[in-house]
Structure 1
Amino acid sequence: MEDLLLAMLNNFEATTLDLHQEQDPRSKLSLLLQHKRFLLVLDNVWSKQDWEFFVCSLPKGLCGSKIIIITRNSDVASFPVKSSEYIHDLSTGLSFKEAHDLFCKKAFQDGICPPELEECSRKILNKCEGSPFAISTVGTVLATKPQTKNEWEELHDTLTSNFTADPKLLVLSRIFQPCYRDLQSHLKSCFLYLGIFPEDYYIRRGRLFRLWVAEGFVEPTAGLTVEEVAEQYLNELIDSNLVQASSWGIDGRVKSCRISNIVRAFIMSQKFVTDSETIWCRQTEVDKVRRLSAPNLIIKYLSNSGIDLNGIRTLQSYKKGSSGLDLNVIRTLQGHKKENSDSQFAMVLKTTRFLRVLDLQGVPLEKFPSSVVGLTLLKYLSLRKSQIKTVPQSIEKLLFLETLDLKYTRVTHLPEEICKLVRLRHLLVCNNPGSGGVTLSAGNLGALSSIQNLSLVKVENDRRILKALGKLIGLRKLGLTDVRKEDGVELCCSLQKMENLSSFDVASTSKDEYLDLDHMQSPLVAPLYLERLFLIGRLERVPKWIPELTSLTKILLKWSRVKPHVNSLEALESLPNLMELTLVQFYTGKKLVFKAQTFKKLMILRIEEFDELNLMKVESQAMPMLKKLIISRCQGLDSLPWGITGLIQLEELIESDMPDKFIANLQKHSAALEMMQIRVIHSSKTGSNQSSTRFQDFSPSNWHLES
């Protein structure tokens, strides 16, 4: 910044001002700019400190001058301005037309793409994914190349290859290096690790955080869990614009992220992680592979690849269609195969003795690999979406295990030896269609003192499980099913000890079984930091402690069938942070009223299967932030909610399987809804009409606890 300051001063004076002269150059520049009107453009500003240094050089009265700051750091963008209207965020990417215009300006002297290069230009732009940074850089590189189809096709093919190995991409490498170098040290490993995921992969935040923690990238911070620290890391990487957020929760938190293909190419050039393509092309020395990612159809043949498997610390698979695989590679790896696939896979695991992370999501295994229990240093084990049915008692040997992910498998029972894994933080099971949870021995469940995430567990007449849960005071997410009315006292006793619980899902044994959750010692000892609550089962009334949950953002109440004389919404309407409310068979009354000045932050409301309901009313200034209203299978409701025109923020009205009279009334008011710019969507779960709108099944087997 000092050099930039001196360069600006040289534009005012013929002689160069030495920085060590008596007068501070910032003061001199301020004096020279006094009473002048100017346009100042600062490109590639990476830190607030740089901006603070420079702003001291500017006079107080700017006389209508303009300052434009170009940065990849969102903190820098927001630092000098008081209103977001002055921030123009380009991180979401350009439209194709905008991208094409920018590309042509950079790549062609006259700004016009020749017809013979149009198709190749489109393919290159697709690789850039709307990033102005990538488009400008690639266009600049191509401007120096012959305008021939072969030359451009060659560059397109190298956009996902090794940067340093390909001279054509050295310019990109030089540009990314400062961005990478500017990252704080604790973020560099986290950033490079993203290369372990394949191209165009949407990375779920929960999975990413658990992997980072298992790899040892996350530094403990007082007062926060390592997963919370990992979330801070992800937000910092997104702020740097090297990582893109791809989906968000209703609370604004990032649910998944991704990296562009060009960023991934840069990551792979750093050789922090290795993919199968790099190995087969012999771009990495086989004895230096530490973190390896490969398609699940290839991973079991690694023993024939020539890789020193003993040096691998991380082995991850991913699903890739057979059409995307090089069959010659598979044949080479298979060699003269005499053993079956499971035997070859076991051979791979026996050789990788020092593995810390084994992520076999989607690998078509039917049995738990017996050789896994010999990986005694393992911290992370995922068999998600495999076909395994049982977990062996010898799982107890994995004493360092922190994550065991068995979601979408066929496992229905866990051995009691699982409770010997005292370092276990995340035990994720079930969510397989038709499955209602897993049985788990209550014997030593309380020994899982590190557990943060436990779902989905069947209680099944065993109150010892509920009592043992009271010892797991560090739980953040808990999912239970097959709970009976008489379990209520023990369940509440345990819940009130879980001060840090943020997500709680519970289902009764059937739609006619009551959930009795009104046995807290007082409403103030309930888990006050709950953000998500799913209650599936009959309720005599909404539990008295729910109005105290000021952090609650998402509620689902299903099969409650609260009686008409009970003020069913009163317990929910004043929750200050409630953003999403789903009510399924919640109420047996004929009239449902949303009172004035209630549900002030609610953004999504779903009403489903209110069989007796014939009137829904929205009073003035109720739900002022509502954006989406879903009404489904309410057979007695013939008309739109009274007062719907008062929902000034409403963007979508979705009806599903509603009676003909309701549809007719909806059509009658279509002009008014269109004038309010409300998009009406018709959907059906049971009829023949197909719709792009999909409704979530809220049965326990389809619960998702952000994992």
Structure 2
Amino acid sequence: MWSISAWEILKCVFPENSTGSRIMTTTRIFDIATGCCRTFNGHIYCIEPLRDMDSRKLFFRRIFHTQDTCPPHLEGLSVAILRKCGGLPLAILHIASLLSTKSDTKDEWELVLNSIGSALENSQTLQGMKKILMLSFSDLPPHLKTCLLYISIYPEDYMINPRTLIRKWIAEGFIAEERGKRLDQVAQSYIDDLTNRSMLIPMDISYEGPILQVHDMVLSIIRCLSAEENFVTIVDAQQSSPLPKKIHRMSLRFNDLEDAVVGTTIASQNYIRSLTVFGFTKQVPSFSNYKALRVLDLGPCEFLENHHIECVGSMLQLRFLVLHSNFITELPEQIGNLKYLEMLNVKFCSLQRLPETVVQLRKLICLYVSKVKLPDKIGNMQLLEELSHIFVSSSSVRFVEELGSLRKLRHLTITVEEPSDMEDHGRGYKEALLSSIYQLVRRNLESLSLDYRGHEDFIQDSSMGSCFILQRLGKLIIMKPLSRIPKWMSNLANLTRLELYISRMEESDIEILKCISTLLFLRLVFTGCAPSGRIVIHNQGFQCLNEFYLLCFIPGVWPVFAHGAMPKLQRYHITFKLLEQQSNSDDFKFGLKHLASLQHVRVVIVPTGDTNVDISSVETAIRNETSIHPNQPTLQIDTWQ
């Protein structure tokens, strides 16, 4: 809680009764804590600073990656620095992150010690904490300062998609070229550096990378600095305070569907380089005069219509464009004029096709649509790296051939229609498709998601496996439901992610998957039958697997893990269906205790329509297995509604 007025509004929704409910609020302001407690006769719990021992552990672990080791020549300085941090975890973490970028010399550490000052040594105040955060910011190199200031466009507690952030940084021109690296790789190194300095917080780490968040105090500092430099202007939809005469980048916040109003002052700004909208609104911001825009993100504007975006074709500086509205059914032909456009995301629009002029976007790198037909001359777009989710008609042999010529394509999501004519045209179409997939994998394709609207023989045939013989592919998703796992998958030696839909669950299928020794992530959906009954996963294979998602809609069937199975598995998500008569507790064995690295388990139970099973007995069995696990993994259990 940041204000008494916010609490006065919030408390109105809580009924005053004696049912035993508890409300917990957190705040850094004592007067607010007192006000919250006064309403319901509550109690204030003041969190104490870390003890000296815990402070040392946090400090040394961040710098030296150990809890109790410090070079002797730095021991005295570490004590002095920790004294000034006053046991505040955020202060310790930021100073430690700063020192981790320095050399282990007394001069470097003394310089940091003297820069902290005495603000925290004498008083554990917000001002002292801000002084440390300012020190961390001041130590950043110029390119990281610029990228971090851009984070001020995001609201508090916003979950930041790093891939989107990277594309915005690139569109703004913040990323410097480095020999031998793509710009997105350089930008990723910026994110890694900011994360190592504790400026960005990874919220959900997996093999695909984290979603990012910013601590509210860090964000507060960034916003203040951004406002001082007129770097980003935050505009509330009910804006009453005066705006800068010249806005460079605007973050427009909507809090209400009905009452949002966009001021005329905003509409008159002609030099805005970036406009990003947050929140949901029925209002459509006026952006027709924004000719200098490089970034236009209108994702939350779900009520945009075709006539609202007619002006987009005249924004000749545009690099980044996001439109998410079901009421947009076509893009203007003039979109082909955007010769600098690098990112186009219209995947939540109701488009059936893209205009022929889209192939004029020669600098386009990322194109996100939703099962949309593209023009045949897609080969003109040679800089494309990400293409999702396109639909390929069985009559478009030329398009399939041109698709294979995209030399830089790294990520492809595609829905393919099976030809009705299986004679010369049908064979030519399939041969062209296989040839294009082979050419893409041979060059740069890292990720393929394929949905084939036809017979599964096309997927099962060894000719499909021959497309991946060069073993470059890292991610493969096949949306087409299959009766069995294709045998050729055992040859995918470099695959790290695999997602499949299978209508049966047998040992032979598991044996094929075991051969993919590099798998880090596996998602399987079983929908049919299990002729061999319960599947036991032994200690052979899956030696690198980190995440396993299993959705098994075969009643009474789920895998049981034997000792030594999946030794590196950390996250296990299982959805399974109960039998109608399944009440013996011995029926509910999963072998979770045998997963040595397990950290998190999520279980979704699907009851059968007339089941007599007491679901609580299933939950008890699962909780018993996780409670005896030495890692004490977190557990989440849900019931399918």
TM-score normalised over the length of structure 2: 0.70
Pair 283,481 (structure 1): closer, same or farther in 2 beyond 3 Å: same
Residues 123-150 of structure 1 show CA distances to partners (whole Å, capped at 9, x for unaligned) of xxxxxxxxxxxxx44165xxxxxxxxxx
Confirm whether residue 208 of structure 1 aligns to residue 165 of structure 2: yes
Give, in angstroms, the shift of residue 671 of structure 1: 7.2
Give the Cα–Cα distance (whole angstroms) in 1 for the partners of residues 181 and 258 of structure 2.
39
Give, in angstroms, the shift of residue 239 of structure 1: 1.6
Give the Cα–Cα distance (whole angstroms) in 1 for the partners of residues 364 and 261 of structure 2.
30
Pair 104,321 (structure 1): closer, same or farther in 2 beyond 3 Å: farther
SS at match of 2:568: coil
The Cα RMSD (Å) is 4.3
Equivalenced residues, count: 524
Structure 2 residue aligned with 1:273: 232
- 8 Å contact 1:624–1:648 — kept in the other structure? yes
Could you tell me which of 369, 373, 392 is aligned with 1:439? 373
Give, in angstroms, the shift of residue 537 of structure 1: 3.0
Give, in angstroms, the shift of residue 357 of structure 1: 1.5
Structure 1 residue aligned with 2:39: none
Confirm whether residue 58 of structure 1 aligns to residue 58 of structure 2: no
Give, in angstroms, the shift of residue 619 of structure 1: 3.5
Give the Cα–Cα distance (whole angstroms) in 1 for the partners of residues 514 and 531 of structure 2.
19
Could you tell me which of 554, 563, 577 is aligned with 1:633? 577
Pair 569,652 (structure 1): closer, same or farther in 2 beyond 3 Å: same
Pair 489,596 (structure 1): closer, same or farther in 2 beyond 3 Å: farther
Give the Cα–Cα distance (whole angstroms) in 2 for the partners of residues 657 and 525 of structure 1.
39
Could you tell me which of 310, 313, 316 is aligned with 2:276? 316
Stretch of structure 1 that moved more, 535-544 or 201-210: 535-544
Q: Which amino acid aligns with 1:263?
A: I
Could you tell me which of 588, 594, 605 is aligned with 1:646? 594
Which aligned pairs between 1:442-521 and structure 2 lie closer than 5 A? Answer: 443-461=376-394, 462-484=396-418, 489-498=431-440, 499-509=443-453, 515-516=459-460, 518-519=462-463
Structure 2 residue aligned with 1:594: 537
Which aligned pairs between 1:25-44 and structure 2 lie closer than 5 A? Answer: none
Could you tell me which of 656, 672, 680 is aligned with 2:605? 656
- 8 Å contact 2:271–2:290 — kept in the other structure? yes
Give the Cα–Cα distance (whole angstroms) in 1 for the partners of residues 619 and 299 of structure 2.
47
Pair 209,573 (structure 1): closer, same or farther in 2 beyond 3 Å: same
Give the Cα–Cα distance (whole angstroms) in 1 for the partners of residues 564 and 324 of structure 2.
46
Structure 2 gaps of 5+ residues are 1-54, 64-69, 83-91, 105-118, 420-425
Give the Cα–Cα distance (whole angstroms) in 1 for the partners of residues 258 and 274 of structure 2.
16
Give, in angstroms, the shift of residue 190 of structure 1: 0.8
Give the Cα–Cα distance (whole angstroms) in 2 for the partners of residues 669 and 479 of structure 1.
40
Could you tell me which of 126, 129, 135 is aligned with 1:178? 135
Structure 1 residue aligned with 2:298: 360
Which aligned pairs between 1:680-699 and structure 2 lie closer than 5 A? Answer: 681-685=636-640, 687=641
- 8 Å contact 2:367–2:386 — kept in the other structure? yes
Stretch of structure 1 that moved more, 611-620 or 493-502: 611-620
Q: Which amino acid aligns with 2:388?
A: S
Give the Cα–Cα distance (whole angstroms) in 1 for the partners of residues 515 and 103 of structure 2.
37
SS at match of 2:364: coil
Structure 2 residue aligned with 1:253: 209
- 8 Å contact 2:319–2:343 — kept in the other structure? yes
Q: Which amino acid aligns with 2:372?
A: V
Structure 2 residue aligned with 1:99: none
Could you tell me which of 348, 355, 359 is aligned with 1:419? 359
Give, in angstroms, the shift of residue 522 of structure 1: 4.3
Structure 1 residue aligned with 2:40: none
Pair 449,259 (structure 1): closer, same or farther in 2 beyond 3 Å: farther
SS at match of 1:390: coil
Pair 574,106 (structure 1): closer, same or farther in 2 beyond 3 Å: farther
Residues 182-203 of structure 1 show CA distances to partners (whole Å, capped at 9, x for unaligned) of 1112212111111122333222
Q: Which amino acid aligns with 1:484?
A: E
Give, in angstroms, the shift of residue 308 of structure 1: 5.3
Give the Cα–Cα distance (whole angstroms) in 1 for the partners of residues 488 and 366 of structure 2.
30
Structure 2 residue aligned with 1:152: none
Structure 2 residue aligned with 1:405: 345
Residues 356-389 of structure 1 show CA distances to partners (whole Å, capped at 9, x for unaligned) of 1112121231225111111111111111246312
Q: Which amino acid aligns with 1:596?
A: N
Q: Which amino acid aligns with 1:581?
A: L
Confirm whether residue 295 of structure 1 aligns to residue 310 of structure 2: no
Give, in angstroms, the shift of residue 289 of structure 1: 1.5
Q: Which amino acid aligns with 1:365?
A: L
Give the Cα–Cα distance (whole angstroms) in 1 for the partners of residues 537 and 601 of structure 2.
18
Give the Cα–Cα distance (whole angstroms) in 2 for the partners of residues 426 and 637 of structure 1.
51
SS at match of 1:401: coil
Q: Which amino acid aligns with 2:279?
A: K
- 8 Å contact 1:500–1:527 — kept in the other structure? no
Pair 631,641 (structure 1): closer, same or farther in 2 beyond 3 Å: farther
Residues 505-553 of structure 1 show CA distances to partners (whole Å, capped at 9, x for unaligned) of 1112279785356325847644514135344332654252554342x33
SS at match of 2:574: strand
SS at match of 2:510: coil
Pair 645,301 (structure 1): closer, same or farther in 2 beyond 3 Å: closer
SS at match of 1:567: helix
SS at match of 2:439: coil
TM-score normalised over the length of structure 1: 0.64
- 8 Å contact 1:654–1:681 — kept in the other structure? yes
SS at match of 1:276: strand
SS at match of 2:126: helix
- 8 Å contact 2:517–2:541 — kept in the other structure? no
Give the Cα–Cα distance (whole angstroms) in 2 for the partners of residues 299 and 586 of structure 1.
47
Q: Which amino acid aligns with 2:220?
A: I
Structure 1 residue aligned with 2:17: none
Structure 1 residue aligned with 2:66: none
Identity of matched residues, %: 22
Pair 649,311 (structure 1): closer, same or farther in 2 beyond 3 Å: closer
Residues 382-433 of structure 1 show CA distances to partners (whole Å, capped at 9, x for unaligned) of 1124631211222111111111111222223212221111111111123xxx
Confirm whether residue 138 of structure 1 aligns to residue 129 of structure 2: no
- 8 Å contact 2:553–2:577 — kept in the other structure? yes
Structure 2 residue aligned with 1:699: none
Confirm whether residue 376 of structure 1 aligns to residue 316 of structure 2: yes
- 8 Å contact 2:199–2:214 — kept in the other structure? no
Give the Cα–Cα distance (whole angstroms) in 1 for the partners of residues 72 and 562 of structure 2.
56
- 8 Å contact 1:609–1:634 — kept in the other structure? no
Q: Which amino acid aligns with 1:684?
A: T
Which aligned pairs between 1:502-651 and structure 2 lie closer than 5 A? Answer: 502-509=446-453, 515-516=459-460, 518-519=462-463, 522=466, 525-526=469-470, 528-538=472-482, 541-542=485-486, 544-545=488-489, 547-550=491-494, 552-558=495-501, 560-561=502-503, 567-585=508-526, 588-591=529-532, 592-609=535-552, 611=554, 616-626=559-569, 627-633=571-577, 639-640=587-588, 643-650=591-598, 651=600
Give the Cα–Cα distance (whole angstroms) in 1 for the partners of residues 251 and 581 of structure 2.
54
Give, in angstroms, the shift of residue 295 of structure 1: 2.9
Give, in angstroms, the shift of residue 211 of structure 1: 0.5
Which aligned pairs between 1:5-404 and structure 2 lie closer than 5 A? Answer: 58=73, 72=94, 74=97, 76-77=99-100, 136-138=124-126, 172=130, 175-248=132-205, 250-251=206-207, 253-260=209-216, 261-266=219-224, 267-276=226-235, 285-286=244-245, 288-295=246-253, 304-305=264-265, 309-319=269-279, 348-363=286-301, 364-367=303-306, 368-385=308-325, 387-404=327-344
